[in-house]
Amino acid sequence: MPRWVSKGGKWYPAKEHVVLPHLAGTDKEVYDGPDRAALFELFQQKVEHLGMDFRHDPELLNRIKNLGYENIDDYCKSVGFDEEKMNKEFEEKAAVIKSHEIEKRVEAINTPGGGIDTSGGGQDKTGGVGPKPND
pLDDT attached to residue 34: 83
- Per-residue pLDDT, averaged over 104-116, amounts to 54
pLDDT, one tens digit per residue, over 15-27 is 887 877 777 777 6
For residue 100, pLDDT beyond 50? no
**pLDDT, the chain, mean:** 76
Instruction: Report the alpha-carbon distance of residue 8 to residue 99 in Å, rounded.
Output: 26
pLDDT, one tens digit per residue, over 5-53 is 888 999 988 888 787 777 777 767 777 778 888 888 888 888 888 999 9
- Per-residue pLDDT, averaged over 82-100, amounts to 73
Instruction: Report the alpha-carbon distance of residue 5 to residue 95 in Å, rounded.
Output: 10
